[in-house]
Amino acid sequence: MDLLPSLYALPTAFFLDILLGDPQYLPHPIRWMGKTIETLEPLFRKIPLQSAFNGLLFAMSLVISAWSLTALSLAVANGLHPLLKIGLEITFIYYCISARSLKDAAMEVSRSLVQKNVASARKRVALIVGRDVDKYEEDGIARAAVETVAENLMDGVISPLFFAAIGGAPLAMAYKMVNTLDSMVGYKNEKYINFGKASARFDDVLNYIPARLSIPLIAIASQILAGKGLLSVKTAVLEGSNHSSPNAGLPEAAFAGALTVKLNGPNYYNGKRVDKPYIGVRFGEARIAHIKKACDIMMLSSLLWLGILWGITAAVKFYT
C-alpha cells in the first residue's frame, strides 16, 4: 500500500485549502466535472434504452473516467520525475477539499445578516443551497447556512480525505465525480427520477461510512468548543434519520445537538413545498451567531479527522 497520500499529500493538500480556498482564477477539475456532466447528459439520454439504464451508463462512464484520467496523469508525472508526481497528487487532493470555501461562503451570509442586509444574505445563501430562499427572513437564512455547513463537512472534507487516504488522488477524484453527479442529476423530480437514480445511489453508498464517522468527530469538536458532545451524539442517533438522505441527516443532526438549534423541516423547491420533519425539534431557531459556531465546529472536526487519518497511516507505516 502506498502511504504517501496520507503521510504527506493529505496534510499538505488540506493546509493548502485552508490557505488558498478556491480561487476563481485557478483552473479547477471539479468545475470541469460539472461542465462535462452538462455536455454529456444529452448524449446519454439519446441512447435507445430505458432512462434508468442510460443514467447508470452515464454515471459509471464519468466516474471511471475521473479515476482513470487522474491515475494516468500521476503515472505520466512519475515517469518525468517522482517529485512532479508528488506535487500533482497534492494538487488533485487539494482540489477535492472545500473547508475554506465552505467557511467563507457561510460567513459571507453571516456578515450580510449582521449588516441587516437580508436581501444580500438571501442572494449569498442561494449560492450554497438548492432550495427556494426568496421568502426567507433572518432565522430561515441562518438555518440554511448552518445546514449547508453541516452537510458539506461530509462532502467537502470527511469523504474526500477518507477516499484519498484509501486510494490516493484517483479515488478522491472519483468520489468528487460521484458527488458532483449527485448534486446535478441526483434529484427526485420528473426530469431526473430515473436518469439520476444511479448517481444518487452511488453517492449514498460512498458517503455511508464517512457520514457515520462524522458523528464522533462533530461530537468531540462540539465538546471542546461548547461542552455539547453528548447532546450532539444523542441528537444524531435519535434524529439523524429525519432526513430524505440516508447520510446527510447524521452530521446535520449532530450539528443540531451541538448548537441546540432546529434544522431541516419544510422547504420549497422550484415552487413546490416539500414537507420534511425537523431535526432538533425541541431546540430553538437558528440565529446569526450559530453560523460562526457551525463553521468553528466544521473546521475543528476537519482538523481532528486529518489528525486521525495521519496517525493511523503513520502507525501502519511504523509497524510494517
Interval 251-261: pLDDT, tens? 999 999 999 99
Instruction: Name the one residue in this structure whose C-alpha cell is 449532530.
Output: 254
pLDDT higher than 70, residue 89: yes
Beta bridge partners of 279: 263
pLDDT higher than 70, residue 4: no
Is the CB of residue 158 less than 8 Å from the CB of residue 214? yes
Read off the DSSP letter of residue 261.
B
pLDDT band at 26 (very low <50, low <70, confident <90, very high): confident
At 6 the pLDDT is: 64
At 268 the pLDDT is: 81
Nearest Cα to 306, choosing from 91, 153, 176? 153
CA distance 150 to 102: 10
- Does the predicted model carry a pTM greater than 0.85? yes
Instruction: Name the one residue in this structure whose C-alpha cell is 445511489.
Output: 201
Read off the DSSP letter of residue 155.
I
Crossing angle of helices 159-185 and 51-80, in 10° steps, is 140
**CA torsion sign, 232 to 300 to 267 to 247?**
negative
At 313 the pLDDT is: 85
Is the CB of residue 151 less than 8 Å from the CB of residue 248? yes
3-class SS of residue 284? strand
Interval 201-246: pLDDT, tens? 999 999 999 999 999 999 999 999 999 999 999 999 999 998 888 8
At 1 the pLDDT is: 46
Q: Which three cell numbers stand for residue 308?
A: 486521525
CA distance 4 to 313: 9
Is the CB of residue 169 less than 8 Å from the CB of residue 313? no
Give the lowest-confidence range in 58-72, 149-163, 182-196: 182-196
